[in-house]
Amino acid sequence: MFSERVDRLTSSLIRELLALTQKPDIISFAGGLPAREAMPPLDLSDPPPDLSQYGTTDGEPELRAAIAGQLADLGLRCRPEQILITTGSQQGIDLVSKLYIDPGTSVAVEAPSYLAALQSFRLFGARFEELALTASGIDPEQLRQAIQRQRPAFVYLIPTFQNPAGVCYDEATRAAVAAVLRETGTPLLEDEPYRELVYEPVDRGPLCARLDEGNTWMYMGTFSKTGIPGLRVGYLAASVDVHPYLVRLKQSTDLHTNRIGQWWCARFLNSRDYPAHLERLRTFYRERRDAMQTALTRHLGDLAEWTTPNGGLFFWVRLKAGGDTRALLVRALERKVAFMPGEAFFTSPSAAHGAFMRLNFSHATPEQLERGLAVLAEVIREQRGMTKTEATAGVVEI
């Protein structure tokens, strides 16, 4: 009696784990929760009384203007009228799914990719074309072939500090990917939640800024990583050919985004302290990243491999000897440690994907991080049928 799409409704392992990670005695590397102590203060006193009334679907003019100004600084020229304020950037994914996806519609995605985006595309019936990620991004030639073969309705990319893989596309890859999109006229959905969480200088000019006038582009951002996630404010900037449809789809989805959150975000973006807040945030997370790098090397150095991310919130770790990180999670949870098994981030999981796990470094304190990774190393050794002593003994024998 339900719709067909309900058969495609998969539950989010992330959300189910969130319930567990909220228990105070769990050390969680699972979610993507920003650190509470790094968030800006939430001053909501004396909101303008007009904000109590219903608002417009597009969003508050002051916030849209501030965002357009930021995007212009990144080289993405668009008018405030092209910006739709969304109820978190997750809503942007829902709206784009509604705009493009019928059962069987092809969508090209990175492998691995953001779990909740894959779930939304799948809910609407998408057929996936996977684009393998390397340390420098996707392969432009593979993208071209995928487009020629499958004619995807759009390509979904997270080029900057990708979730889950942490990859930041390099300049040559950005240029080549944009060239393929221009030449084939393929719509792009670029998702950039982590843009401002940068710890070393890297190439990160938006792909959307490199497209032509006639290209269809959609660019998503959020205030949940730099500001206050509980306010649920994000945005979806888009080329003029699709923006009006997205507005009408949002209208039928929730009329408009809460105005108090929009008011707070506009003041936040326009505040004199905003650049300094970003710097403090980067310093804070850089230290956490470095702490995880150190602890990973100490505890998992002989068990796993990874690349240190230059931004974002995650390490993407592969067990050298392979294995099944889903089964590992069950054991780790018994020991009060949580992480995300990698398999969930692939649209067509294979045995090889079972060796990956995503470790968040923003939420746990350095002490929890040290302790949690020590436990994780023990559990990995146990799964491999070795105790730590045996492993160490092995090393001594050489």
Residues with Cβ within 8 Å of residue 398, at least 6 apart in sequence: none
8-state DSSP, 197:
-
Binding segment for its own copies (CB under 8 A), chosen from 26-34, 297-305, 315-323, 370-378, is: 26-34
Q: For residue 243, give the nearest of 78, 55, 69 by alpha carbon.
A: 78
Of 62, 74, 245, 374, which lies in the binding site for its own copies, with binding defined by CB under 8 A? 245
Which of positions 286-315 make contact with its own copies (CB under 8 A)? none
Binding mask 75-94 for its own copies (x = CB under 8 A): -----------xxx-xx-xx
Of 13, 70, 105, 184, which lies in the binding site for its own copies, with binding defined by CB under 8 A? 105
Q: Rounded distance, CA 395 to CA 89, Å?
A: 48
36 in contact with its own copies (CB under 8 A): yes
- To 10 degrees, what angle do helices 13-21 and 115-123 make? 130
Q: Which is nearer to its own copies, 310 or 362 (CB)?
A: 362
Binding segment for its own copies (CB under 8 A), chosen from 4-12, 106-114, 172-180, 288-296, is: 4-12
Of 251, 307, 387, 392, which lies in the binding site for its own copies, with binding defined by CB under 8 A? 251
162 in contact with its own copies (CB under 8 A): no
Is residue 351 within 8 A of residue 24, CB to CB? The reply is no
Q: Which is nearer to its own copies, 108 or 377 (CB)?
A: 108
The helix/strand/coil state of 239 is coil
Which of positions 168-197 make contact with its own copies (CB under 8 A)? 187
Is residue 363 within 8 A of residue 33, CB to CB? The reply is yes
Q: Which is nearer to its own copies, 124 or 316 (CB)?
A: 124
Q: Which is nearer to its own copies, 53 or 350 (CB)?
A: 53
270 in contact with its own copies (CB under 8 A): no
70: left (phi over 0), alpha (psi -120 to 50) or beta: alpha
Taking the complex as a whole, the smallest distance from the CB of residue 341 to its own copies amounts, in Å, to 19
Radius of gyration of the chain (CA): 21
333: left (phi over 0), alpha (psi -120 to 50) or beta: alpha
